[in-house]
Structure 1
């Protein structure tokens, strides 16, 4: 046994709101989603990358990368660089997009210079209901983001973060254990190996997990 098929959109027929993200990402050049990562589609629209990922335009070139085994709750929004306004001048109003002469003299570099890069969500991350991720953040493996949190900066692996702006309130494990977990990287194992070692992965004995490598 190797668990559910990661390429099936609805892996739980009795719970159609649960959607695997990898099939949705397959034909999109600017996103990637790891196997078994899922989203709670409570709204029933089925369009995570079109409606929960905001201002993500191909011409900008930024990417959204979601690792494997992530759990993304209903209402989570990921804001990409296309929603940012230039802040280097006195006004943040985007005059140039309205045309009619307002585009004249606008230097696009004043906006592109402030872009914050790609958004990267590591493996085994749990993002609580209604959380918002701002552009360019990196979320470390195993992190937990509380409901309604607004993430404006990077989070360490296995951090637990909450609030607006989100702050790390504790770490799930000590630094030494985190280092060992990152070295094991169970999320990269083949599905059959994960199946054989579920008890070690679900447990809290790092030595048992290491013994499975």
Structure 2
């Protein structure tokens, strides 16, 4: 029986501390909260992505077949809840336009099709048991509701939900979103972010913009 990887539901693990797969790139302070799922981030949350220790020992599709493998790119301050599934590019050998969708071994080398990198931009929140399909980009500050299946790109600062996930609402006005996209607070030096935490933990985008113009932009 596997030892539980989290001691309590409130425990998080920073991805920078646990990711070893070279096909996964993660930013600062992004975390996985996987207590209820009892899976490793790289072997449960992220699925079908070559590059973990075991798959590297078994085969190398880049060298063996010349495949261009998709990557998982995660920005800064991303929140990933328990039960989230991020489907990746290890099994894109099923062709709906062929007579059979069965991946015959004889056709594996030529049947693979990359879907494109999966990108979760900074400050996004992926809710419990959501599923992210291959090649999707989730914009900065976006929220994916629990249990959603994301099959297409999610715009910045947008809340989506359902199966397939659809827009529920924008988090802020268009003008406010443009200011947030300009400021990119999650890329600031940590010391500046810590000073701005009281503003970041409020709804005052104008106040944050004043801080940005005074402390960051000069």
The Cα offsets for residues 74-109 of structure 1, whole Å up to 9 and x where unpaired, read as: 00010002133222312111122xxxxxx1xx3744
Matched, 1:20 2:28: no
- Alignment check: 8 A CA contact 2:77 2:186 kept: yes
Aligned match of 1:49 in 34, 42, 46?
A: 42
Higher helix share: 2
Q: Output the TM-score relative to the length of structure 2.
A: 0.81
Q: Structure 1's 81 and 23: CA in aligned 2 closer, same or farther, altered over 3 A?
A: same
1:39 aligns with 32
Matching of residue 135 in structure 1 with residue 143 in structure 2? no
TM superposition shift of 1:168: 0.8
| Aligned twin of 1:75 | 83
**Contact preservation (8 Å) 1:70, 1:125:** yes
Q: 1:161 matched to which residue of 2?
A: 160
**Distance in 2 between the 1:201 and 1:70 partners?**
15
Partner of 2:25, secondary structure, is strand
Is residue 77–residue 133 contact of structure 1 (8 Å, CA) maintained in 2? yes
Does 1:151 find its partner at 2:150? Answer: yes
The worse-fitting range, judged by mean Cα deviation, of 47-56 and 129-138 is 47-56
Shift of 1:164: 0.4
The answer for unaligned runs of 5 or more in structure 2 is 52-60, 62-66, 213-218
CA offsets per residue over residues 173-194 of structure 1, 9 Å max, x none? 1111111101000000111111
Give yes or no for the alignment of 1:119 onto 2:127: no
Q: Comparing 165-174 with 54-63, which one deviates more in the overlay?
A: 54-63
RMSD: 2.2
Kept in 2: contact 1:38–1:72 (CA 8 A): yes
State whether residues 54 and 83 of structure 1, in contact with CA within 8 Å, keep that contact through their aligned partners in structure 2.
no
The TM-score with structure 1 as length reference comes to: 0.83
Which digits, 9 at most, give the CA deviation of each residue in 1:26-84, with x for residues without a partner? x3211011111111121475620122101001435211011111111100010002133
| Cα displacement (A) at 1:15 | 6.4
SS in 1 for 2:123: coil
Aligned partners of 2:112, 2:32: CA distance in 1, in Å?
32
Deviations along 1:163-212, one digit per CA (max 9) or x if unpaired, are 00101111101111111101000000111111111122122222211121
Given that residues 31 and 64 in structure 1 are in contact (C-alpha distance below 8 angstroms), is that contact kept between their aligned partners in structure 2? yes
Distance between the aligned counterparts of 1:199 and 1:76, measured in 2?
Answer: 29
